[in-house]
Amino acid sequence: MSAEGDRGRERESRALHRLCAQTRGCASVIDPHSGRFLDVNETTCLVSGYTRREFLRLSVADIDPTVSASWSYAREINARRDTETLLREGVIRRKDGGLVRVSVSSTIVQLHLENYMLACAKQFPDKKPSGDESSVFDTMDSGVLVTALDGTIRDLNASAERLFGLTRALIIGKNVATLPALRGERPIPPSASRTLERGKQ
């Protein structure tokens, strides 16, 4: 690549970094060809528990279990052909294993040399959303618990209710380590407590 091309990419990188840093909520710049993260803002790092350097080694599928690992550039472009911004429900998988439900808006940013995807994620309130907001989360085949940092369960989907054989009312507000005891099983030791996901302990 020519020196002029290198300088152009460097200018675009700085412009995207400023745009990401100035965006409220969890903002990230994504390579639409591969789904890999190119930049994230400080809020994204705080919410996820990853450093910026760690994040740049990950892809969207590594962070969001609702996203297929088989990323497709054509699919992402086509999904935004009739709308400037695509809205969807997603999940941030924290470094500690916790899951945070988010509303994700994303758009394709066209700069001189490349297309980039700018995504912004905002956390849902603790209460269970109603209507279409909950559709993706509730129809996931995997049992998913959303917990606070101390392990308190804030939300769960229908698959998790079936997995544990307990109603939502019995699970919400409990600590994830106490779930086995609610079923008459041996409790999880505090040191081993973690978010249960995809039907595994």
Per-domain residue ranges of the chain: 3-123, 131-192
The identity of residue 52, as a single letter, is R
Mean pLDDT of 172-176: 79
Confidence of residue 11 (pLDDT cuts 50, 70, 90): confident
Superfamily of domain 3-123: PAS domain (3.30.450.20)
Provide the pLDDT for residue 201.
39
Segment 183-195 shows an average pLDDT of 47
Asked if residues 154 and 172 have their Cβ atoms less than 8 Å apart, the reply is yes
The 10s digit of each residue's pLDDT in 143-173 is 667 766 566 777 777 777 888 888 877 888 7
Q: How far apart are CA 188 and CA 136, in angstroms?
A: 29
pLDDT at 21: 83
Report how far apart, in Å, the C-alpha atoms of 53 and of each of 33, 50, 60, 146, 151 are.
20, 8, 15, 25, 26
CA distance 51 to 120: 18
How far from 36 is each of 7, 72, 114, 144, CA to CA, in Å?
22, 12, 15, 24
Tell me the pLDDT of the chain averaged across its residues: 77
Q: What is the amino acid identity at position 57?
A: R
> What would the mean pLDDT of 83-106 be, rounded to a whole number?
87
Q: What is the pLDDT of residue 115?
A: 85
pTM, 2 dp:
0.59
Domain 131-192 sits in CATH at: 3.30.450.20
pLDDT at 139: 53
Q: How far is CA 175 from CA 165, 182, 195, in A?
A: 16, 11, 10
Question: pLDDT for 73-93, tens place per residue?
Answer: 888 888 877 777 888 888 999
Contact 12, 114 (CB under 8 A): yes
pLDDT for 200 equals 40
